[in-house]
Chains A and B, each alone.
Chain A
Amino acid sequence: MGKVIVVTSGKGGVGKTTSTANLGTALALLDKTVAVVDADVGLRNLDIVMGLESRIVYTSMDVIEKQCELSKALVRDRRVDGLMLLAASQKNNKDDIQPEQMKAICDKLRTTHDFVLIDSPAGIERGFSNASAGADEAIVVTTPDVSAIRDADRIIGLLQNARIEPINLVINRFSPQLVGNGSMMDQADVLDILNIDLIGVVPEDSAVITSTNRGIPLVYEDGSPGAQAYMRIARRLTGQRIPIHSFEQKGLLNNIVNWFTRKR
């Protein structure tokens, strides 16, 4: 039985779709079978970020309306074995789907895939309830700024009420330079506020933007700091124990202190 993980955030534009695309691809590169599901009905993006937009024929709406079988609606990513995408309908809206219907789709997908990753829309309304309805676990994505962290805290509360656990945090668009000069909170600050487990830190990386332009997830070319960060998170999701990478450019003494005081 596979795991269903919702990728969510509260605030929009913090990197949910980017993270779903890259973690899905990374897990497939690690020989796992993966289904990525776009739950952003009406504002679908996962297909274009992954470069699969020209191959979408059916969506989750068609499956729900019994216009086609689930297996037929899944688009196979030909670049790697074991990766499938279920697209969201672009002409419907979030209220056209019920949480139970999403849950039914997740429960089917978990019988055939090791990982089911759900790309949640921003917000705390229906789109979020639909995306999280079938989830066992959650990945909360935040950027290290006040609005995103405040909204992440709200979402974490809702996930806890829904008994979804573990809830793992991804800090995205982290800038070692800004942290170094005191204009950005570091990972310890963010964890101190949100108080959940950190599964990875993704640096600000222009390769994210160029890879999205091309429709080729970053992790296919394992060179950029962003790609490496996503590969490490994927390995942690498979249960490998990899220490959290430190991007901070502090002195040696500080690094030693950090090592002793880090959250495990």
Chain B
Amino acid sequence: MNISIRQLFGRKPKSSSIAKQRLKLVITQDRFDVDDRVMTRLHHELAEVLAKYFEFSANSVKMDLKQEGNSYILVADFPYTKFHETNMRQ
């Protein structure tokens, strides 16, 4: 709405508002950009916990950060071959 009125009068948006918009975007990205070392550690720790319940081969595991709009999603794929049923009863 704001923009369309401006366009009607043929005015360019202020460079300060462009700066603010661009900064907001890049800073959200910066803040969610997880350190590779942290991801590797998380990967190992998750695998350790899941190994108590499932059987899976270490090299089939995939972990990824995905961006959807303004939020980030941690996606982890642990394809398993077997469920350790006995652990459930303990």
Contact = CB atoms under 8 A, between A and B. Distances in A.
Interface of A: 145-146, 149-150, 153-154, 157, 179, 182-186, 189, 192-193
11 contacts: A146-B19, A149-B23, A150-B26, A153-B27, A153-B31, A154-B30, A157-B31, A182-B14, A183-B14, A186-B16, A193-B27
B31 to A, nearest CB: 7
Interface string B39-69: 0000000000000000000000000000000
A150 B27 contact: yes
B84 interface: no
B74 to A, nearest CB: 18
A154 B24 CA distance: 13
Nearest to B13: A182
Interface in B1-42: 14-17, 19-20, 22-24, 26-27, 30-31
Nearest to B26: A150
A157 B35 CA distance: 13
Given A153-B30, A185-B20, A193-B20, 7 more contacts: A149-B23, A149-B27, A182-B16, A183-B16, A184-B16, A193-B23, A193-B24
Interface residues of B, number: 13
Is the contact region of chain B dominated by helix, strand, or loop, or is it mixed? helix
A185 B19 contact: yes
Nearest to B14: A182
A45 B23 CA distance: 31
A189 B20 contact: yes
Contact of A150 (B15, B17, B23): B23
A157 B33 CA distance: 12
Contacts of A193: 20, 23-24, 27
B31 A179 contact: no
A145 B16 CA distance: 9
Nearest to A153: B27
Contacts of A146: 19, 22-23
